Structure formats: structure tokens, C-alpha cells
Amino acid sequence: MAPNFRLDDKVAVVTGASSGIGARCARALHEAGATVVLVARRRERLEELAAELPGAVVLPADLSDPSTAAGLVAEVVERCGRLDVLVNAAGISNPIPATKETLDDFQSVLNVNLVSPFTLAQAAVGAMRANGGGSIVNISSVIAAVSEPSIPEASYAASKGGLASMTRELAVQWARHQVRVNCLAPGWFPTEMTAELTGHEERSARFRSRIPLGRFGDLEELDGALLLLASPAGSYLTGQTIVVDGGTSAI
């Protein structure tokens, strides 16, 4: 079965690749043989990662502006000749009580977490069709399925829930083009976004006590689900959300 998880001669775009889950996705896809295109705002972070991944392409972009999608995909095809995998991992959050969250704040989270994944997928599907198909993996969150009372973030929950629903819809629309669209929904993993939680011993202990496996995830533990969704191993999977959360959403 191992060859089915390979991505040799494929081109994979990963947004949010400057840190956390995005950077881990880029490493996993590179290890599987893909040429990885690294997308995020922080060029220096991308170049540091690219130095570890021979052949990686650095494309800095500000995904808070969804109109950048078409140009970004066109540049990928121009530089790499094709596009086979898109991982929408870029994301932001704004933990604040809903009564205090402004409409501008709410919209800014949706722009990065939901609107940009849509415009990128919309731009990518044409390039994938030209190659006979492809795979789009949207990084959602366990927060799309369950709420965490101690972290008020209505805009983040709305964006991740919307991303899961949008994934199902795009999967159905684009199945005839052999473009698969799925979601990977992580639970609690140590990243920049979760540093205030995972780096605080007392608070993190309370969280860990509510995770059936009793611990936060290691980023490498996302690799298997990611490669299943991105590679030929998951050729009959589309419109699905795989939750990797240590059992959090099962409670």
C-alpha cells in the first residue's frame, strides 16, 4: 500500500506554511515526494522552511485579500507547470466575547479562514482539471463540531463550520472533474495560535483532562490523515471531514 501514499511528480500548494499546521503539512507532502509551494505572508519564515525542503517554491501572499487567489494559482502553474494538491491551512482567530466582536473583526476572520479557501479552490480547480483531477484539503477544526466554553471565538467557529459545509458542496460539484475536496479537522495541537493554552501548565492540564487520549496532539500525527486525503490512497474519498482530535469530539 505504501506507493499509494506517494506524491512523486505532483505539485502541492500549502497556505499558512510559515508555521504550525501549515508548515507540518508542507513537510509531510515533501516527504511524500511532492514539489511543495509555500504560501504565507512571512517571507523569511517561508525561506527558512524552503531551505529544509529541496525544490520547494516560496510564494509570499497576503490571503486576507481573497482577490490574490487567481494570480497566485496562475503563478504556480507558470513556475511549476501544474497543480495537483491544494492545502488551505492558513487561518487566524480572534478570541473575544461575541458581544464585543466588531463586524470588521468578524469579517477579517472569515476572509482568511473561509473566503480565501473558496477563491483559491475556485482558481485551482481549472488547473487540476487540466491534469485529469486533483485534491483539495481544507484545514478545518474540531471547533466546527464542538464548542469550547473557555475560548469565545464566534467568528472562528463560523468560519471553520462553514469550511466543512463548503467542502461537501464543492466535492459534489467537482466530482465529475475528478477533483476531490475534503476536510482535515485537527483538535488541540501546540502551534503559535494555541500557545497561550498549550504553554500554560495549569490551563493546559484542564484541557488535557477533557481529551480522551489525555494529551495534546503532536503535529506529526496529522501526517497520515493528510496524506490519505491528498494522495491516490484516498482516491474514493471526497466530501468528508476527518477529525484528528484524540477523541475530543466523541464526548
Q: List Cβ neighbours of 201 (8 Å cut-off, separation of 6 or more).
A: none
Active site residues: 156
Supply the DSSP symbol for 218: P
AA letter at 91: G
pLDDT tens-digit profile of 148-182? Answer: 888 899 999 999 999 999 999 999 999 999 999 99
pLDDT computed for residue 1 by the predictor: 67
pLDDT tens-digit profile of 70-117? Answer: 999 999 999 999 999 999 999 999 999 999 999 999 999 999 999 999
> Hey, what's the cell of 238?
471526497
pLDDT computed for residue 191 by the predictor: 85
Q: What does the CA dihedral 43, 49, 51, 55 come to, rounded to 10 degrees?
A: -90
Alpha helices, DSSP H only, in the chain? 20-31, 43-52, 69-80, 103-110, 116-130, 154-174, 195-198, 201-209, 223-230
pLDDT computed for residue 190 by the predictor: 87
Tell me the average pLDDT across 10-29: 97
3-class state of residue 60 by DSSP: strand
Q: How many whole angstroms separate alpha carbon 12 and alpha carbon 4?
A: 16
Decide: 41 and 60 in contact? Cβ < 8 Å: yes
Full-model pTM = 0.95
> What order do you get walking across the sheet with 179-186 strand by strand?
57-60, 35-40, 11-15, 85-88, 134-139, 179-186, 241-244
Q: How many CA atoms lie within 13 A of 138 on its CB side?
A: 37
What the chain holds in terms of domains, given with CATH numbers, is: 2-243 (3.40.50.720)
pLDDT tens-digit profile of 184-234? Answer: 999 999 888 777 777 777 778 888 888 999 999 999 999 999 999 999 999
